[in-house]
Structure 1
Amino acid sequence: MTWPGLVLMLAATLARGGADGVRRKILVFGGNGFIGAATVEKLIQQGRNDVTIVNRGNWYWDSATRVKPHVQQVVCDRQKGVRACKELMSLVREPGAWFDAVIDFSCYSGAQMKQSLELLGNRAGLYVYISTDSVYEVCTKDHTGPTLETDDQRPTDTAEQFRLNRLDDYGNRKHEAEEVLRGREGLPWVFLRIPDVVGSRDGTRRWWLYQLWLRLHDIVPVHLPQKVANLDISLVQVEDVAAAISDILDGGVKVHNQAFNLAFKETLTLRRVLRDMGRQLGILNVNFNQYPEREMYLYPTVWKGPLSITKAEEYLQWSPVSWEEAVKVNCRFYESVMTSDQYVEEKTKLLQTFFSTFANDLTKSRAIADRLKKAYGIKLEDFVPWFIIKNEL
């Protein structure tokens, strides 16, 4: 068999994803957070993947039961460098060590990417890097349409590069990681550039906080600053990201060495997001504060506008859940959490954040506590100890 023929045969084997009975070995950096846990859970459910996850050993929401029992875990803090992780070094350096795919959720700089690639050597068949739409914030965009994957070129002017990098350090560092991986010869890669992700078990609690805020909108008007109220934005549902990653592992060479934007088909605005959430909660007329003294908004986090998903539709058959369905599913999940005995730690963090941010006088504090008790049966003092002190003053 010729060398090109052998390469195609190996690529087809990976694309079949174990259809010939061979299990796939997948190394995941992260895998315990919001997007990572959803992805690993999907890989586990397929029943044909042996998954090893590398993270600091923390388990969020119910990932300790959804994910932990079904994977091999290696504890490693990438901030300290992968070479300081003896267990990971031993795993990768075992004779014959090989990973059909590496999925990286936790790389935040070019230096971290370089360390990971040096560690892996030639022991991986594909590297899927979970990047971000923030990379476009440090690049030049010369059109007004949705952002394309080709809008990823840094300015040629050094001073302009420096200016953009200072404005978005996160986007700059993620872009650096892409550049390092792209420059690695012999290792196929895929970049997924995703916007703010929504869904159940979100560690940022952004959606959940907005949902609680809407429940209390007549007590604490929801901030809707004019500068972001009607700005076109993209979001994406967490399960759809997990499905796309799975499809990439099965996609073969046609998806290799490609970047893909992922997002809902619908272009959104913060105003629409909040109004649609409100309607799902039965709140038809949200009380907005468009001129808050100290504004707070959780979406958007980028300024270059919405993403084009045309390429993902062509290569990945990208067909995300509808925005309407996502609103319904996400709101129902967080409403159920508010009345559940599960997720006490997450609920405590949410309530303490909201209370410390917005309960700035006694009248408002009591009104919030009364509403939470009436709507969810929640005793605020069980979650926010300092409410008792404030209430007794």
Structure 2
Amino acid sequence: MREVCVIGGSRYFGRHLIDLLLAAGDRVTVVNRGSAPAPPGTDHVRADRDDAAALAGALGDRAFDAVIDQVCYTPAQAAVAARVFTGRAARYVMTSTMEVYAPPTSSALPPTTPGSPLREDAVDPAAWPVTGDLGDDPATRYAEGKRQAEAVLAAAALPTAFVRSAHVLGGGAQDFTGRLAHYTARIAAGEEVLVHPRPQPTVFVGHREIAEVLRWAAGADFTGPVNACSHGEWDAAALSGHIAARLGARPPRLRTARDGETPSPYSFDTYYAMDNSRAATLGFPFSRTSDWLDAAIDDAARA
């Protein structure tokens, strides 16, 4: 029986992750502030993950085969994790994001070429500077926070893997982002879908598949970043057209967003789709987005 700690993330695909761990026979400890109950069958530790002394005290003498950190957003949080779990955990898995590659969020990122999916070495955690300055723009703050968090953990004496998740789809009402529901609702109602002048492709992963990736990563022995996305690139126009066909609706009314208007989620003006071949080489077989997209659309339409 493995001892696995999950920090935060007990809703949406985090709940699927915990269910998978329990089904595999792992003993699961969930760490959160107590604002949400831990799922049945888990050990619940209430603590502020931003406070190293409080977190260490709440954990007591617990030690873990693996820690899966669902809510590490800043280098300060990563530093707390490194301090508390070095020597206490044999392995650390940080849930990261494809936004680390997002060109608009840092001038230090390499240029992207449509049709050439990004590999993990496009952003090397060991070489990324940790400044503590994350910027003021929310998108930049999120992406830079993840990049610098990865960098802090990469420098720690704690074997760490970074799962860079694609945009997660599926789950219906569980999907608190509402992004896929934005499309299903507007297309079903015949309303306009705002997009960039030339929407660029992106990649997705299903809400159950990303949970499977995280469970797999917790039991593997690789370190460093790994891209997590289903096969197949989709742009906002193709996604809208597929949704309309699935709903039996009229073709989507796409309109280029004017100055001051915000394009729909998953519409991007720059390309930064990911290459998932490292994960495949290490042993995780991804599905194709087309394998599960219709079920995700159905769930969003019913939510």
Q: What is the TM-score normalised by the length of structure 2?
A: 0.85
Partner in structure 2 of residue 118 of structure 1: 83
1:133 aligns with 2:98: yes
Matching residue of 1:211:
184
CA distance in 1, matches of 2:274, 2:117: 5
Partner residue of 2:33? 56
Identify the structure with the greater strand proportion: 2
Change (3 A) 1:221 1:208: same
Q: What SS does structure 2 have at the residue aligned with 1:27?
A: strand
Partner of 2:60: 93
Q: CA separation in 1, counterparts of 2:57 and 2:134? A: 42
Aligned to 1:202: 175
Native 8 Å contact 2:91 2:160 kept in 1: yes
2:2 aligned partner: 24
Structure showing greater Rg: 1
What does residue 175 of structure 1 align with?
Answer: 147
Residue 205 of structure 2 aligns with an amino acid whose one-letter code is V
1:184 and 2:150 correspond: no
CA positional deviation for 1:165 = 9.0
Give the 3 Å change call, closer, same or farther, for CA 300–56 of structure 1 in structure 2: farther
1:279 aligns with 2:251: no
- In the alignment, is residue 307 of structure 1 matched against residue 279 of structure 2? no
Deviation string 1:28-50 (CA, Å, 9 cap, x unpaired) is: 1113132322211211222x111
Aligned residue in 2 for 1:244: 213
In structure 1, distance between residues paired with 2:96 and 2:283: 17
Whole-angstrom distance in 2 between the partners of 1:258 and 1:89: 25
Alpha-carbon separation, structure 2, partners of 1:301 and 1:188: 34
**How far is 1:297 from its partner?**
1.3
How far is the alpha carbon of 1:232 from its aligned partner? Answer: 1.5
Structure 2 counterpart SS, 1:184: coil
Following superposition, the deviation at residue 193 of structure 1 comes to 0.8
**Contact preservation (8 Å) 2:196, 2:267:** no
The aligned residue for residue 350 of structure 1 is: none
Match of 2:254 in 1: 288
How many residues in Structure 1 have an aligned counterpart in Structure 2? 290
CA distance in 2, matches of 1:157, 1:102: 23
- Residue 195 of structure 2 is aligned with which of 206, 215, 224? 224
Q: Tell me, what secondary structure is at the counterpart of 1:299?
A: coil
Partners of 2:29 and 2:43 within 8 A in 1: yes
Aligned equivalents of 1:121 and 1:283: distance in 2?
54
* 8 Å contact from structure 2 (residues 73, 145) kept in 1: yes
Per-residue CA distance 1:285-304 (angstroms, 9 max, x = gap): 12223345733311147844
**Could you tell me which amino acid in structure 2 is paired with residue 181 of structure 1?**
L
Q: What SS is found at the alignment partner of 1:168?
A: helix
Compared CA separation, residues 44 and 300, structure 1 to 2 (3 A) = farther
Aligned to 1:334, what secondary structure does the other structure show?
Answer: helix
Assess if the C-alpha contact under 8 Å between 2:128 and 2:147 holds in 1: no
Structure 2: unaligned runs, 5 residues or longer = none
Distance 1:245 1:89, change over 3 A: same
Per the alignment, in what secondary structure is the counterpart of residue 106 of structure 1?
A: coil
Structure 1 residue runs without a partner (length 5+):
1-22, 338-393
- Deviating beyond 4 angstroms after TM superposition, the runs of 4 or more aligned structure 1 residues are 162-167
In structure 2, C-alpha distance between the alignment counterparts of 1:250 and 1:32, rounded to whole Å: 19
In 2, the alpha carbon distance for the partners of 1:288 and 1:174 equals 32
Matches of 1:103 and 1:226, distance apart in 2:
39
Name the amino acid aligned to 1:310: S
Residue aligned with 1:115, SS: helix
- Match of 1:247, as an amino acid? W
Per-residue CA deviations over 1:61-89 (Å, capped at 9, x if unaligned) read xxx6xx6212122233435x243x4xx43
Aligned pair in 2 of structure 1 residues 292, 279: CA closer, same or farther (>3 Å)? farther
